[in-house]
Homo-oligomer: A and B are copies of this chain.
Amino acid sequence: MLSNVRIERTESPKTKPNPEKLGFGQYFTDHMLLMDYSAEQGWHDPRIVPYAPLTLDPAAMVFHYGQAVFEGLKAYRTAEGGAQLFLPERNAKRLNRSLERMSMPKLEPGVLTEAIQALVGVDQDWIPEAEGTSLYIRPFIIATEAMLGVRASSSYLLAIVMSPVGAYFDGGLKPVDILVEPHDVRAVRGGTGAAKTAANYAGGLKAQAAAKEAGCAQVLWLDALERKYVEEVGSMNVFFRIDGQVYTPVLNGSILEGVTRGAVIELLEDWDVMFTARPLSIQELVQAAANGTLEEAFGTGTAAVISPIGGIRWNGQLYPINGGQVGELSQKLYDTITGIQRGMVRDVYGWTVPAVAEQEELRAGV
């Protein structure tokens, strides 16, 4: 439970950006939420304050040893003008798993969702309305102790910032090609791959640039041990439909467990689609692409929801999938999940949660 969130409202609200040109993560709302951790006081002093720079000692451990974890989720405007979150408690649980892996202090259950609801309450007029748009919410926690010894920090800062974001695809889903990275790896068993930590991203930028050069939108990561099994695609989990059966790589300790991945699996099971999580070798996949049994492939993640894959580039060759067209299952998953998120499809799974706590709705006069 989060109590006593102090609120200091801005005296100079920003002009809102053009809703047609939001992009991703470029504009930030008027406020942010901060909370401190110290060994003596635990997590304390939650406060909503005007969005402003953070002030950190140059020796703050986050700059040197990388204790930094984050989450990403969205608030969606509903058909009736309300706003809702999608499975925020799964983000909260994953955040705690990430914190544990990185030797950082966990949050009490409920705290993350309540903090988000409090902040969305204050900045709810920042949630964009148009189809495909939403308010991206980025909670993150960083080590703040000013000390250069290699050990866990004794103090941390939790911050939540929010950014109105545009449609990932404008004008319907668009399949993209992906490049199988032959050399660099994202993560390995025993490492930090299953945590959502800053450490996992910067090392992938080089491969991402190589993918762009090869005309591909994303990297398809292989496992670090044998460079044989597919793991993730860019910052998304990945699914394949082969001969009517759906597969995704099994969680093996180096893959991030996506919230969207979980929702997709539940829908597949509910729809009686044959589904298996298991190791998937790149050979098996390109062979299936070549002989036409690879019917669909798609990435899943909060940003894109479902991102259809049009082709896999491997060893200098492009293996097209489904003639570069959006698959039937991809489209149905996208429509169902975005429908639930926007309150247009009834949420029989109980996946959505109000984005604004009730008192806050009243106070803001929504």
For A67, the chain B residues whose CB sits under 8 A away are 202, 205
In the bound complex, do residue A58 and residue B65 qualify as a contact, i.e. CB atoms below 8 Å apart?
no
A residues within 8 Å of B by Cβ? 23-26, 28, 32, 51, 53-60, 62-68, 70, 101-103, 136, 138, 140, 142-143, 146-152, 159, 161, 163, 183-185, 187-192, 197-206, 208-209, 224-225, 227, 234-235
Cβ-closest 8 pairs across A and B? A25-B148, A66-B198, A199-B199, A65-B201, A103-B205, A185-B190, A188-B188, A66-B202
In the bound complex, do residue A163 and residue B148 qualify as a contact, i.e. CB atoms below 8 Å apart?
yes
In the bound complex, do residue A203 and residue B198 qualify as a contact, i.e. CB atoms below 8 Å apart?
no
What number of copies of this chain does the assembly contain? Answer: 2
Given known A-B contacts A25-B147, A102-B202, A68 and B58 have beta carbons under 8 A apart? no
Ordered by A's residue number, 26 sampled pairs between the chains whose C-beta atoms are within 8 Å are A23-B149, A25-B59, A25-B148, A26-B149, A53-B56, A53-B58, A54-B56, A62-B62, A63-B140, A64-B198, A65-B201, A66-B197, A66-B198, A66-B201, A66-B202, A136-B148, A138-B148, A150-B204, A183-B190, A185-B190, A185-B191, A188-B191, A191-B191, A192-B203, A198-B198, A225-B225
**Chain B residue with minimal CB distance to A152?**
B205
**Chain B residue with minimal CB distance to A28?**
B59
**Chain B residue with minimal CB distance to A184?**
B190
For A138, the chain B residues whose CB sits under 8 A away are 59, 64, 148
